[in-house]
Chains A and B, each alone.
Chain A
C-alpha cells in the first residue's frame, strides 16, 4: 500500500506531470481570484467598503454577516428566497424542454430522410448567429399583442401575456437548436443496425428514441442539461424585460435592479451587498455544475468520432 502510494506520488512529481500540476493550479488560482475577491468583499459593511482603500485581498476590519443574511433571508423590500425559487422553477422547466426537444429533433435530423432536411437544419443553425438584441423589442410587442390574453381584444387593449407566468411557460418548449445539433452528431455515430433491429422488433419511432437512443445519449443529455440550466439560471433579460411584478422576479433580475438603483445620483452603491448577491447567484449554478461536470466531458466525447 505505502509503496504504491509513494510510487504514485513519485509519478505525480515527474517533471512533466509536476509542470502540469503547477500550470493548472497556478492559472486556476488566477482564474478563481475574482471569486475570492467577491467572497472577501461580502464581509464588508457598506461604510467600511466606501471609506477604505481596497487591496488585492480585501480583509474587513469589522467583518459582518449582514450581506450573507440578506442573501438567505432577504429583507422587507427584497424577498430573496422567492427569487431563488422562481429561478429554480424556471431552470428546471427550461432544462426539461431543452432535453426533450434536442433529443427529438436530433433524432429526426440524424435518422429520418426527408426533402430539404439539410437546408432546414442549416437555417435553424444559422439563426444562432443573429444578435439577440434585435428580437428584444419585437418579442416585447408580440407578447403585448398576444391575442385574447391579458385583456386584449384580439391584439390590443391589454398587456397581453406580459408580466404573467406565460412569459416563462412559453419560453420552454421552443426548439433547442445547439442541443439538437449535438444529439444529431452523436446519433450519427451509432450504427444503423441498432435502429433496424428495434424496428424488426416492432418498435415505433418514439420507442426507438426513448428506449434505445435516450440511454445512449445520457452523457450528451447531461451536457445539454447543464448548459441550459446555467443559461436559464443566469438569464436576467427575460424576467427583467418582460415582467414587472415582484412575484415573477428571478434572482438575476433582482440583482440587476439593485445594482441599477444604486446608480441613481446621490446614492453610494452598496457594493458589498451587490457583490454578495452576485455571489449568491453563482453558488447554485456551481452546484449544478459540480453535479453534472463528469458527464460533460463524457457527453461531448460522444459527439466526436467514436463509432
Chain B
C-alpha cells in the first residue's frame, strides 16, 4: 500500500509531456542502447567481483583437479581422482549428506517458527516493534562470541545447564558424546540465531499481501483459516522464494557452530561438508580435496536452488498476474 502511495507522489513531480515522433525514435535507440548501458554499468562491478571472489573461487575449484598435499609439495594434475574419492570415501559423502539434511532441518524449523512468530507479530498488538527487535537481536550477535556462551552453558562439568539439572536432582547430561544432543544444539543455536530474521521477512511478506484480497475472500465467505490458505499463503510465494533460497544456502554451509560447538564430534558424526573442507584446507593442507569438495557442494546447492527457483518463480508469475488483475480493476 505504502509503495503505491510513494509511486503516485513521485510521479507528480514529473511534468507530463506528450510523446512526439522524436520519442519513438529515441525509444528505438534506447532499446539498442540497453546492452551498451548494461555493459557500462555492470562490467566494472563484475570485473571487480571477479578479482575479489570469482577468480579466487575458480582457482579453488581448479585445485580440485590436483593432488596437492602439503604446502611445499608440488601439485600433480590428477584429473578427477579427488572427485572419485569424494564419492567413495564415507568421510566425504556422509558429510555432504549431513550438510543437506542438517541444513534442511535448520531451514525448516527456522522458517516454520519464524512464520508462526510473524503471524503473531502481524496482529494489532502493543509493542510490536519491541518484540520484533527482541527476536532479531540474536541475528545481530557474532557467531564467535555467542557460540562461546553456548559452550559455557553446555559445559559437561560446570556448565550452567548441567548445574541446573543437578540442582533439581537430575543427572547431568554429557552433551558432547551424544549425536542426538550434538545435532540438537547445533540446530538450536542456528534457529536461535535465525528465527528473528525469518520472522521479519515473513512479516514483510504478510504485510505486502493486498488487503483487498482479504476483503474479496471475506465476501466469498472464507474463514480465518480459509483466508490463510487461499490468500496469505499464495501471496507469500515470492517472499518464500527469497527466504527459502537464502536460508537454505546459509544453512547448508553451516560450519562455524560445528567448529566451535561440537568440533565434528562425537566420532565425526556431526561433521558437515564445509567443516570437512575447512579441515582439509587448513589442518591437512590437502587443497586438492578441499577444492573438489567445494565444487561438488556448489553444484549440488546450485541445482537444488535452481529447481526451487524455477518452480517458485513460475507460480510467482501466476499469482502476480492474478493479483494485478484484481488490483488494477477498481483503480483503473
Residue positions of A touching B, CB distance < 8 A: 8, 11-12, 16-17, 20-21, 23-25, 27-29, 31-32, 34-35, 37-38, 53-56, 58, 101, 104-105, 107-108, 112-115, 117, 122, 124-139, 141-142, 170-171, 173-175, 178, 181-182, 185, 189-191, 194, 197-201, 205, 212, 215-216, 230, 234, 236, 252, 255-256, 259, 271, 274-275, 277-279, 281-282, 285-286, 288-290, 293-294, 296-307
Q: Are B164 and A55 in contact (CB under 8 A)?
A: yes
Q: Are A303 and B281 in contact (CB under 8 A)?
A: no
Complex partner residue of A307 from B37, B141, B327, CB under 8 angstroms: B327
Q: Are A173 and B45 in contact (CB under 8 A)?
A: yes
Complex partner residue of B148 from A53, A124, A259, CB under 8 angstroms: A259
Q: How far is the CA of A200 from the CA of B291 in the complex (A)?
A: 52
Complex partner residue of B153 from A31, A34, A133, A298, CB under 8 angstroms: A34
Q: How far is the CA of A16 from the CA of B125 in the complex (A)?
A: 10
Instruction: Take A137-B281, A274-B148 as given contacts and tell me if A298 and B204 are in contact as well, using a CB distance cutoff of 8 Å.
Output: yes
Q: Are B209 and A25 in contact (CB under 8 A)?
A: no
- Residue B31, interface by CB 8 Å: yes
Given contacts A108-B38, A297-B200, 5 further A-B contacts (CB under 8 A): A131-B297, A134-B57, A174-B49, A198-B14, A302-B3
- Residue B26, interface by CB 8 Å: yes
Q: Are B141 and A126 in contact (CB under 8 A)?
A: no
- Residue B311, interface by CB 8 Å: no
A255 to chain B: which residues have CB within 8 Å?
142, 144-145
Q: Are B34 and A34 in contact (CB under 8 A)?
A: no
A58 to chain B: which residues have CB within 8 Å?
160
A305 to chain B: which residues have CB within 8 Å?
208-210, 235, 238, 316, 319-320, 323
A129 to chain B: which residues have CB within 8 Å?
249, 297-298, 301-302, 305
B319 to chain A: which residues have CB within 8 Å?
305
- Residue B233, interface by CB 8 Å: no
Q: Are A199 and B41 in contact (CB under 8 A)?
A: no
Majority DSSP secondary structure for residues of A touching B: helix
- Residue B216, interface by CB 8 Å: no
Q: Are A216 and B3 in contact (CB under 8 A)?
A: yes
Complex partner residue of A303 from B117, B143, B238, CB under 8 angstroms: B238
Instruction: Take A199-B26, A307-B324 as given contacts and tell me if A137 and B287 are in contact as well, using a CB distance cutoff of 8 Å.
Output: yes
Q: Are A256 and B52 in contact (CB under 8 A)?
A: no
Q: Are B123 and A115 in contact (CB under 8 A)?
A: no
Interface size on B, residues (CB 8 A): 117
Residue positions of B touching A, CB distance < 8 A: 1-4, 6-7, 10-11, 14-17, 19, 23, 26-27, 30-31, 34-35, 37-39, 41-42, 44-46, 48-49, 51-57, 59-61, 63, 117, 120-121, 123-126, 129, 131-146, 148-150, 152-153, 158, 160, 163-164, 167, 192, 195-196, 200-201, 203-205, 207-210, 235-236, 238-239, 242, 246, 249, 253, 255, 273-274, 277-278, 281, 287, 290-291, 294, 297-298, 301-302, 305-306, 316, 319-320, 323-324, 327
A182 to chain B: which residues have CB within 8 Å?
242
Q: Are A170 and B17 in contact (CB under 8 A)?
A: no
A286 to chain B: which residues have CB within 8 Å?
137, 140
Q: Are A34 and B38 in contact (CB under 8 A)?
A: no
Q: Are B249 and A127 in contact (CB under 8 A)?
A: no
Instruction: Take A142-B51, A215-B6 as given contacts and tell me if A285 and B201 are in contact as well, using a CB distance cutoff of 8 Å.
Output: no
- Can you identify 12 A-B contacts, CB atoms within 8 angstroms? A34-B138, A35-B137, A54-B163, A133-B290, A135-B53, A139-B56, A174-B49, A175-B45, A199-B27, A201-B14, A277-B145, A300-B205
Q: Are A134 and B34 in contact (CB under 8 A)?
A: no
Instruction: Take A126-B305, A300-B201, A301-B204 as given contacts and tell me if A278 and B239 are in contact as well, using a CB distance cutoff of 8 Å.
Output: no
Q: How far is the CA of A112 from the CA of B153 in the complex (A)?
A: 53
Q: How far is the CA of A282 from the CA of B11 in the complex (A)?
A: 41
Complex partner residue of A128 from B235, B249, B316, CB under 8 angstroms: B249
Q: Are B27 and A271 in contact (CB under 8 A)?
A: no
A296 to chain B: which residues have CB within 8 Å?
200, 204
